[in-house]
Amino acid sequence: MLPLLVAAGIATAPSASADPAPPVIGPAAGSSVPQPGEDAEVTFASGDVTLYGTLRTPVRPRSGVAALLLPGSGPTDRNGNQPGVPANTLGRIADDLAEQGIPSLRFDKFGSGATGLAGLPQNRLVDFGFTDQVTHAAAAATLLSDRTGVPVDRLTVIGHSEGGLTALALADRGIGHGGVGLVEPLPMRYLDLLTAQLNRQLDAAVQDGRLAAADAETSRETLRTSVRSLRETGKLPARPDPLLASIGLVPANATFLAEADALDPVRLADEIPATTPVLLTCSDKDLNVSCDQVGPLRDALDHTALRFAHLANANHLLGELGPFPPGRLDVAVPLPESVEFGTALREWSARLGG
């Protein structure tokens, strides 16, 4: 597995390396009080991969509503956790939805949790792409539909970070028109966001003397060449810059990067049916995605039944920062769920299926 890009929330496809390097951004979240309901372990197949997840059934489930929860980038499991980052992002969303009587399914994406690498050989890992990730999510939607009786086109799909792009891709396949939740989502093409994030970090490294200006410019040029190559050929240069390799821009991840980048979130948002309830969030203290970057996505969703929540004090993993500034060490602090986000989610979900 590959580490997250520093303060970026972007990671790429699973690799066959042993243990993931711990990411350097994101909070460790505090525990939450489970809402009434029962968690049941489930498995489902997608091609030659068996995935493992949890089906949450509230004590009094609402009729006609069920939600599929999709994690962000990197080795993120069914609860929204990574090694060293127990954020519990999706676990808390399942709690919030259960409070509204909404059943939900969350699962360990490929490369994480009980699913792991599914025993696949090295050559299959190299071929793993974003399209596979979406297909796995579609299989999860089928299971959720079978267990709840809600048709796949009427399911609600909620994606956090990179999971927002997965949710939009599912909507493009006709899955999840009962509601689409885009929570601190990837708001532009994958490689455009990665470029913006890396350039910001290079600027900071030059400014504080950690990196020479000439070395930063070399990395920028290699990044431009890499993005161009991915978009034109689907491949990366054979000898990438060491800094870019450290964030996952290596040939083994070319398929995932090229396939994810080929999808434009703004275009996909524009295709969502007008009657679809949509929740879109951004936060002033999200170091990964800014509210300005989310603006074009918001505009593309204006034709839908949109609930836009502009948060003030949540970090990218939806931890409550209160009056404190965001920082790279948030990962070491046990944070409760953002009050603003929890309120927005419950208000939006209370109206689903109406």
pTM: 0.90
Per residue in 277-301, pLDDT tens? Answer: 999 999 999 999 999 999 999 999 9
Query: Above 90 in pLDDT, residue 35?
Result: no
Residue 16 has what pLDDT? 36
pLDDT-based confidence at residue 327 (cuts at 50, 70, 90):
confident
Average pLDDT across the chain, whole number: 88
Per residue in 76-90, pLDDT tens? Answer: 999 999 988 889 999
The more confidently predicted of residues 126 and 181 is 181
Query: Tell me, what DSSP letter sits at residue 134?
Result: H
Complete domains list, the chain, with CATH? 28-189+263-349 (3.40.50.1820), 191-257 (no CATH)
Per residue in 179-215, pLDDT tens? Answer: 999 999 999 999 999 999 899 889 988 998 998 999 8
Query: Above 60 in pLDDT, residue 9?
Result: no
Share of the chain above pLDDT 70, in %: 89
Residue 54: its H or E element: strand 49-57
> Six-digit token pair at 107?
């699962």
